């Protein structure tokens, strides 16, 4: 018996620039595994209509004429817990990046982006990855590696949150923050996926987090 075809990814776009919407429409029409369920030109209409559409993936701009993209992510995330939100914007400042990721975005791409890269990112985020442009991934990693401020002197014993990671754990952490899937981390480090999973669990325990999103939030100081 032949395998059933994989359903097309249901995609929604929140973008106020008509030229960019036209380009995105052309890119999406060039593939059979993505179908667009709606284009939105502002945040208010997106928030009002997207919960009923339940797209698999949302492409979200930051600079919108009413609510900005980060605020849209903040409001949509609890309404669409199974939807992956991929930022697609020209903004590359660290504050905007971490605000978007902390609000619930699952990836961050910088315009302009090549059509093949955009389609790959849509597929990747749908499968649980965290696609990022190279410059964004570097900013996230650099932010995590910034020296922590010296805590005030106190009689309280040091918190286990300050536990240092081993060299291999740090490598796995870097790849997690950069958005690599477990399989990709395993290939990069030459280890098994189950070993990667073990390292990730140790990292979560040492940093007192439960998800990759919380790790990214720690980098921005919002967790």
- 50: containing domain: 9-132
Residue found by looking up tokens 């030229």 in the block: 19
CA dihedral 47, 53, 58, 61 (to 10 degrees): -40
Residue 203 lies in a domain: yes
Residue 195 lies in a domain: yes
Residue 171 lies in a domain: yes
Residue 4 lies in a domain: no
* Count of the separate structural domains present in the chain: 2
> Is 164 in the same domain as 128?
no
CATH number (domain holding residue 175): 1.10.10.10
Q: pTM for the full model?
A: 0.66
> Is 79 in the same domain as 170?
no
Residue 143 lies in a domain: no
> Is 106 in the same domain as 196?
no
pLDDT at 147: 57
Contacts made by residues 208-212, CB under 8 angstroms, sequence distance 24+: 208/160, 208/161, 212/130, 212/176, 212/177
pLDDT at 99: 86
Per-residue pLDDT of the chain (223 residues; tens, 9 = 90+): 455 567 899 999 999 999 999 999 999 999 999 999 999 999 999 999 999 999 999 999 999 988 899 999 999 999 999 999 999 999 888 888 888 888 889 999 999 999 999 999 999 999 888 899 888 888 877 776 665 444 444 433 333 344 577 888 888 888 888 777 788 888 888 887 778 888 888 888 888 777 777 777 766 554 4
> Is 35 in the same domain as 117?
yes
């Amino acid at each position: 018996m032949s395998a059933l075809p994989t359903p097309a990814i249901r995609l929604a776009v929140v973008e106020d620039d008509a030229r960019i919407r036209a380009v995105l429409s052309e890119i999406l029409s060039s593939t059979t595994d993505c179908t667009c369920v709606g284009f939105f030109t502002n945040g208010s209409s997106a928030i009002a209509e997207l919960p009923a559409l339940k797209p698999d993936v949302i492409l979200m701009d930051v600079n919108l004429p009413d609510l900005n993209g980060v605020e849209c992510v903040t409001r949509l995330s609890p309404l669409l817990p199974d939807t992956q939100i991929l930022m697609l914007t020209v903004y590359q400042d660290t504050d905007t990046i971490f605000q978007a990721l902390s609000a619930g975005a699952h990836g961050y791409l910088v315009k302009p982006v090549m059509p093949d890269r955009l389609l790959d990112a849509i597929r990747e985020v749908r499968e649980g990855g965290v696609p990022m442009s190279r410059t964004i991934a570097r900013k996230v990693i650099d932010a995590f590696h910034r020296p922590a401020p010296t805590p005030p002197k106190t009689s309280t014993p040091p918190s286990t949150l300050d536990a240092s990671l081993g060299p291999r754990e740090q490598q796995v952490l870097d790849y997690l923050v950069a958005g690599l899937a477990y399989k990709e981390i395993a290939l990069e480090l030459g280890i098994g996926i189950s070993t990667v999973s073990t390292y990730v669990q140790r990292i979560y325990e040492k940093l007192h987090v439960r998800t990759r999103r919380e790790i990214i939030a720690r980098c921005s100081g919002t967790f």
